[in-house]
Chain A
Amino acid sequence: MSTPTTLFEKVWTDHVVVEETMATPAVLYIDLHIVHEVTTPQAFSVLRSQGLPVRRPDLTLATLDHSTPTTPVSTFKDLLVAGEGAANQVRQMEQNCEDFGLDLLGFGSGSRGIVHVIGPELGATQPGKTIVCGDSHSSTHGAFGALAFGIGTTEVGHVLATQCLLQRKPKTLAINVDGALPPGVTAKDLILAVIGKIGVDGGTGHVIEYRGDAIRALDMEARMTICNMSIEGGARAGMIAPDDTTIEYLQGRPRVPQGAEWEAGVARWQGLRTDDGARFDKSVTINASKLTPMVTFGTNPGMVVGIDEPVPDATDASFRKALDYMQVEPGKPMTEAAVDIVFVGSCTNGRLSDIEEAARVLEGRKIAPGVRMLVVPGSEQVKAAAEARGLDKVIIAAGAEWREAGCSMCIGMNGDIAQPGQLSVSTSNRNFEGRQGIGARTVLASPATAAASAVAGHVADPRSYA
């Protein structure tokens, strides 16, 4: 009998072109490369200067998301809303795609959107694939049992030119989530709790596999939210073994194989799981049934508390600096913090179910006076699907803004930012100093918590708005 192996090891082994040795890393084949306007210009310049083509345009998915306005775009002038640098970057991406023969999912294509939203939605993300993108939240695609991780621009150039990367094999970390999430507690709350437990560097050097009953019970969009934030625990990738939920989600999507190839794919995917007795380098267990809605209080995603718990006391200078920046007091719950701006969107929580979750809270209510709320769909498809359900009307009637697809306030590159000192409740993934604008104070939360906070005017428990 062969040695039991983990899901990660199975996918890794299947993509090794040249084995690693002491002297050299492995050459790893990449099945899907997603590219966007911000982390690729310098890579295309290298290809140009060396006279190299893109080796596999058919395995490359190109879109525009990071520095695009969330107001409608049809002319260059519309792009300038996001600033001249951003507008030029978009134009250069369009040119690069044309010059290198890449099919760009651009404005009005109906398929444009955040890199990690469109991959799954088009069915390009599939179990067992290796997937990379010049964005650290590439870990999202691991929700399908793919090995997916973020890379730098030099590596973007490597994949464009050779469809391969030089990689050392990472270690493995099992995160077992037992029990069931209580009503009103979501995948976002769960992953924030996980990061709070392992710390922002707990996964460094590791690939996480999320396992256990609470994970199996999640739908695909919730699984994507979980895997998305693996990088916030320091891990480059997070994976969940594919099952019937995965296959059901993928069936009929435009880029999945058809007919006999689909059948073969399904058969192969069903074998993609960790064998009994396989060893992980580390493992952590969490009980989901004890969790409450979670919010961050500091300046990294590991500084997190339950919505009704007090903010802990500072333990060192870095912690104190974070509390000072956030203007929060230890000993008090975050529900006392007044809210200026609320953002629902991003590759963490910008899919249809997230917008539905926010709309359920907003339905028949108004956001508090003085609060601004932006709801930004993760893709043009998400936007269309939400509008088909009338969610845009609910959102607008509540006094929030319904925008065009993009990264928006997750990274604040397109002019969608919070003002200095403002408190933002955000469904994105990073509460770093200045992430959402100079001096902006970010509280990470689920879409339900974000919407409840917009209505209340302070950080609020969504369970009171069910």
Chain B
Amino acid sequence: MNPVTTIRSRTVALPTRDIDTDQIIAARFLTTTSKDGLGKNAFFDLRYNKDGSLNEDFVLNRPAAEGCRILVAGNNFGCGSSREHAPWALLDYGFEAVISTEIADIFRSNSLKNGLVAIVVDVETHRWLLDNPGAEITIDVESTTITLPDGSAIEFAMDGFARHCLLEGIDQLGFLSKQQERIEMFEEARSWKP
């Protein structure tokens, strides 16, 4: 994973709540054996009409969304399945961060492991971001702050370990593998064996 330190971008807003992983990437696109190329299928059924033409009304298809790397979404984003294809698809599409008032557990864990910065903010900040799509904001992972266009900085909570991994681009498998000895000791010492 490449280190992620700051993200400066205009935002795009998808205010619907409970956007599930099936909407982010539908099951019919999961018959892949690689992580690449999923971006073209992200939000497919929202981006395209039934006849296959582009849905011009969908916010991501509007010219203003072009180049936006920060997605502001309605409450409880990423609920549903454990498919890591969801953050893979969003990253491949070009997003680098997602902001909501609540982000589902498994989706958030999957996102952070892939360098997609998943951020939970307070209701007021969220409201402002939804009401001002296209605002240019800066996410700073080091100081865990979002800086709004007027210069005000809002702090967000992020697990210290996840933050460290993002900043250093740490692969968690490498970290776990270093625990090999402790894992062996645990297996030896258990009072019962699975």
Chain A, 1-59, CB within 8 A of any chain B CB = 17-18, 22-25, 27, 29, 31-32, 38-39, 41-42, 45-46, 50, 59
Partner of B16 from A18, A150, A162, A317 at Cβ < 8 Å: A317
- B45 in complex: contacting residue of A27, A166, A434, CB < 8 Å: A434
A88→B33 CA distance, assembly (Å): 9
Residue of B nearest to A412 (CB): B27
User: Which of A200-208, A245-253, A351-359 sits within the interface?
Assistant: A200-208
Contact indicator B80/A432 (Cβ below 8 Å): yes
Total interface residues on A, using CB and 8 Å? 72
* A57 CA to B67 CA, complexed, in Å: 45
Knowing A201-B75, A317-B16, the reply to whether A438 touches B50 (Cβ < 8 A) is yes
Rounded to whole Å, the gap between the CB of B39 and the closest CB of chain A is: 16
| B73-87 interface bits toward A, Cβ cutoff 8 Å, 1 = contact, 0 = none | 011100111111000
Given the known interface contacts A234-B76, A264-B192, the answer about A27 and B22 at a Cβ–Cβ threshold of 8 Å is: no
**A101 contacts partner chain B, Cβ-Cβ < 8 Å:** no
User: Which has the most chain B C-beta neighbours within 10 Å: A39, A204, A432, A439?
Assistant: A432
A154 touches B27 (CB 8 A): no
Query: Given that A42-B34, A435-B27 are known contacts, is A166 also in contact with B194, CB under 8 Å in the complex?
Result: no
Known A-B contacts A25-B161, A163-B183; the reply to A234 vs B30 at CB < 8 A is no
**Nearest CB in chain A: distance from B53 CB, A:** 14
Q: How far is the CB of B44 from chain A (nearest CB, A)?
A: 9
In the complex, whether A215 has a CB less than 8 A from a CB of chain B is no
Contacts between chains A and B (CB distance < 8 A), count: 172
* Choice from B83, B105, B164, B172 contacting A158 with Cβ under 8 Å: B172
Residues of A within 8 A of B172 (CB): 154, 158, 166
Contact A152 B16 (CB under 8 A): no
Which listed residue (B31, B102, B186) contacts A17, Cβ 8 A? Answer: B186
Q: What A residues does B27 contact at CB under 8 A?
A: 411-413, 435
| Sampled A-B contacts (24; CB under 8 Å) | A17-B182, A17-B186, A25-B159, A25-B161, A27-B183, A39-B82, A88-B31, A136-B82, A150-B81, A158-B172, A158-B176, A161-B176, A161-B177, A163-B183, A164-B179, A164-B183, A204-B102, A300-B18, A317-B16, A412-B27, A413-B31, A430-B81, A432-B23, A439-B50
